[in-house]
């Protein structure tokens, strides 16, 4: 049972988790964001802390409150999330990137509220690509065990496996989204993949999924050390 297995591995381990969306400001009253409640990342952080892990949670804007056992760093943008990760990843055993990071940010956010004009029916925003946080961690020479998520609306397994390989992750959690699935839900289903292992987690509350995911990571890490 996971309540026995989890503390056995996670007791005293250091875990870094990102959660929630990032908001990229357009002007003082508008932003570009992702549909993400942060529930999955917060559940992972809480379950790991309950199992005795030392947990740092880096969270984008969400309406959740983290457990007192979790050290939480609140950020807004992808840039800020990257900086917080860079300050915290070094002595971690495992990094789980559950955040829905905005892929692009506004090149030059307006200092004042943008006013609509009468003479133009459309408007164009100039966007630039954000840094890929999980990829950055996976590129470091000394690095934790790196677990990413893949949110997909189609070709779940193929796209997720591409991300596992391209970003040089140790594990990917593939996650079907859209159509009322995944984002902002209490339940979800996950397909966990490493280079050699596969595990299907059927629809369950995110706290249950968090336990199963942390147990699978433990299994894979113990296996890797043999
Ligand atoms: N991720 C990240 N930094 C980014 C974008 C994504 O750390 N700038 C992480 C997410 O936290 C997740 C993984 O990368 O763990 C995959 O995110 P996803 O949005 O599914 O994939 P992308 O690589 O951004 O590709 P796309 O959105 O085009 O599918
Ligand atoms: Ca993305």
Residue 138 lies in a domain: yes
Nearest to 206 by CA among 89, 85, 77, 64: 64
Determine, yes or no, domain membership for 117: no
Where b means 16+ CB within 10 Å and e means fewer, 145-165 reads bbbbbbbbeeebeebbbebbe
Please indicate, yes or no, if residue 136 is contained in any of the structural domains: yes
Q: How far apart are CA 217 and CA 43, in angstroms?
A: 15
User: Which residue's alpha carbon is at the smallest distance from atom 24 of ligand 1?
Assistant: 103
Domain count, the chain: 1
Tens digits of residue pLDDT in 77-117 = 999 999 999 999 999 999 999 999 999 999 999 999 999 98
Whole-number pLDDT of residue 188: 87
Sign, CA dihedral 147-153-155-159, equals: negative
Report if residue 120 sits inside a domain. Answer: no
- Pocket flag, ligand 1, residue 97 (CB < 6 Å): yes
Angle formed at CA 99 by CA 96 and CA 102, multiple of 5 degrees: 140
Q: Which ligand is nearest to the CA of 78?
A: 1
Evaluate whether ipTM surpasses 0.95: yes
Lowest-confidence pick of 23-27, 166-170, 187-191, 221-225: 221-225
Domain presence at residue 39? yes
CB 20 within 8 A of CB 59: yes
Q: Give residue 184's domain range.
A: 2-109+125-225
CATH number at residue 19: 3.40.50.10300
Does residue 195 fall inside a structural domain?
yes
Q: Is 212 domain-assigned?
A: yes
Q: Is position 100 within any domain?
A: yes
């Amino acid at each position: 049972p996971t309540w026995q297995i989890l503390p056995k591995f996670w007791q005293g381990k250091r875990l870094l988790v990102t959660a929630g969306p990032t908001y990229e400001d357009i002007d003082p009253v508008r932003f570009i964001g992702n549909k993400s409640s942060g529930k999955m990342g917060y559940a992972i952080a809480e379950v790991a802390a309950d199992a005795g892990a030392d947990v740092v949670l880096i969270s984008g804007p969400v309406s959740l409150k983290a457990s007192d056992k979790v050290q939480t760093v609140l950020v807004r943008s992808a840039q800020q999330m990257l900086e917080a990760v860079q300050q915290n990843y070094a002595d971690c055993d495992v990094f789980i990137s559950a955040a829905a990071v905005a892929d692009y940010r506004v090149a030059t956010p307006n200092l004042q509220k943008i006013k609509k004009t009468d003479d133009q029916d459309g408007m164009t925003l100039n966007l630039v690509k954000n840094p890929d946080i999980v990829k950055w961690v996976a590129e470091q020479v000394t690095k934790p065990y790196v677990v990413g998520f893949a949110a997909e609306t189609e070709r779940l397994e193929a796209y997720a496996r591409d991300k596992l390989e391209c970003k040089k992750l140790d594990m990917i959690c593939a996650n079907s989204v859209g159509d009322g699935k995944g984002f902002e839900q209490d339940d979800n289903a996950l397909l966990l993949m490493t280079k050699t292992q596969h595990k299907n987690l059927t629809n369950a509350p995110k706290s249950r999924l968090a336990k199963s995911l942390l147990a699978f990571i433990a299994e894979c890490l113990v296996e890797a050390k043999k």
